[in-house]
């Protein structure tokens, strides 16, 4: 596998996805054991550039890099020269001149991370760009599903809520589709993406129908920061129709798992008791798998980079 960057799920083959998940599984076991340090990224410099707020993704990339022995630097983007008018590309070129090996980038504009990757000569990982892609989130979701269900194919998976504004939904749709699962999108008409037909998923506007007999229920946050108008009548009404509670969940398979990428709005898209129910909810395991998946992705990109450098010398 010769991936140079991880910009999205779209360019990955199913065998790339399986290779990342297999290595992540190994790191997940290692992270649970006492031995948490490896030297796969020893001597490498990893720079995290987050132009949008983040709690778990940024912490997870930082811990992943440190567990692999990289030197990790978090750019304080609020205090950077972007505020003085420097463009994203100029900032990237400045950092590139310091010879980092890995750049982890989150940006509010779809496509910004792809553009940046064309300008630098290190490996770039997309930590979420606008409503476009969030590949490591889809990979950690896939690993959580695979570990919980024992497989990652022929599952009935419902992705529910604000699909239109969600890069998590988009990356998951692509990944779960590539791995041959049956996907349902459940939510109000106003929160369905325009290009919905392209994904080959079934669309439901009623939670009970949409959740009937599914193996996996994936909930999404209402992405208010990306909404420029009234997409829902009120949060109360939204919770009534689309908030996941025990009654709605009872229509899914008895062993269906509940997922959420976080941050969660309890009482808006999900009932707090369901989120905390360890028999159903795998939300904390998603966070745990996030570190392992990011370790695997960075490890693979660095190996490819070293191999490309060796070949270039020959």
Q: Where along the sequence are the contacts to ligand NCD (CB under 6 A)? A: 56-57, 128, 134, 137, 167-168, 221, 223, 261-262
Q: Which residue has the tokens 């079934």?
A: 202
First to last CA, the chain: 20
Residue 55 or 94 with smaller CB distance to ligand NCD: 55
What is the chain's percent helix, strand, coil content, to nearest 5? 45, 15, 40
- b/e 234-267 (16+ beta carbons within 10 angstroms → b): eeeebbeebbbbeebbebbeeebbbbbbbeeeee
Q: Give the DSSP letter of residue 90.
A: H
Q: How far is CA 312 from the centre of its chain?
A: 33
With 0-12 / 13-18 / 19 or more C-beta atoms within 10 angstroms meaning exposed / middle / buried, residue 311 is: exposed
Residue 40 or 270 with smaller CB distance to ligand NCD: 270
Residue 57 or 91 with smaller CB distance to ligand NCD: 57
Q: Which residue has the tokens 């709605």?
A: 248
Quote the least distance from Cβ 105 to ligand NCD, whole Å. Answer: 13
Residue 221 or 280 with smaller CB distance to ligand NCD: 221
Quote the least distance from Cβ 282 to ligand NCD, whole Å. Answer: 14
Residue 53 or 81 with smaller CB distance to ligand NCD: 53
Residue 221 or 305 with smaller CB distance to ligand NCD: 221
Total residues found in the chain within this entry: 314
Quote the least distance from Cβ 222 to ligand NCD, whole Å. Answer: 8
Q: Which residues contact 62 (CB under 8 A, 6 or more apart)?
A: 48, 72, 74
d(CA 85, CA 31): 41
Quote the least distance from Cβ 58 to ligand NCD, whole Å. Answer: 9
Quote the least distance from Cβ 288 to ligand NCD, whole Å. Answer: 13
d(CA 107, CA 113): 7
Quote the least distance from Cβ 297 to ligand NCD, whole Å. Answer: 14
- Contact call for residues 61 and 123 (beta carbons, < 8 A): no
Residue 44 or 220 with smaller CB distance to ligand NCD: 220
- Contact call for residues 106 and 49 (beta carbons, < 8 A): yes
- Residue at shortest CB range from ligand NCD: 221
Quote the least distance from Cβ 194 to ligand NCD, whole Å. Answer: 19
Residue 187 or 261 with smaller CB distance to ligand NCD: 261
Q: How far is CA 176 from the centre of its chain?
A: 13
Quote the least distance from Cβ 301 to ligand NCD, whole Å. Answer: 19
d(CA 224, CA 16): 33
């Amino acid at each position: 596998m010769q991936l140079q960057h991880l910009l999205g799920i779209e360019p990955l083959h199913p065998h790339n996805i399986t290779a990342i998940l297999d290595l992540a599984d190994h790191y997940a076991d290692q992270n649970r054991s006492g031995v948490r340090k490896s030297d796969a990224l020893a001597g490498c410099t990893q720079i995290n550039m987050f132009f949008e707020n983040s709690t778990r993704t940024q912490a997870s990339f930082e811990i992943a890099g440190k567990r692999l022995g990289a030197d990790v630097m978090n750019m304080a983007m609020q205090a950077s020269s972007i505020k003085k008018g420097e463009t994203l590309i100029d900032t990237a070129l400045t950092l590139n001149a310091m010879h980092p090996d890995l750049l982890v980038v989150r940006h509010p504009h779809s496509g910004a991370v792809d553009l940046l990757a064309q300008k630098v000569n290190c490996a770039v990982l997309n930590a979420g760009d606008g409503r476009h892609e969030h590949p490591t989130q889809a990979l950690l979701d896939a690993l959580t599903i695979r570990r919980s269900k024992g497989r990652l194919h022929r599952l009935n998976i419902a992705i529910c809520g604000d699909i239109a504004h969600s890069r998590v939904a988009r990356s998951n749709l692509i990944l779960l589709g590539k791995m041959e699962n049956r996907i349902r999108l459940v939510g109000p008409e106003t929160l369905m993406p325009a290009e919905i037909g392209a994904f080959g998923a079934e669309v439901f506007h009623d939670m009970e129908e949409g959740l009937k007999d599914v193996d996996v229920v994936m909930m999404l946050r209402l992405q208010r920061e990306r909404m420029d108008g009234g997409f829902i009548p009120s949060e109360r009404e939204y919770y009534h129709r689309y908030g996941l509670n025990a009654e709605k969940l009872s229509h899914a398979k008895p062993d269906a798992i509940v997922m959420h990428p976080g941050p969660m709005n309890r009482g808006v898209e999900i009932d707090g008791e369901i989120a905390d129910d360890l028999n159903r909810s795998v939300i904390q395991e998603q966070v745990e798998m996030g570190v392992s998946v990011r370790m695997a992705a960075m490890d693979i990109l660095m190996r490819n980079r070293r191999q490309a450098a060796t070949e270039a010398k020959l």
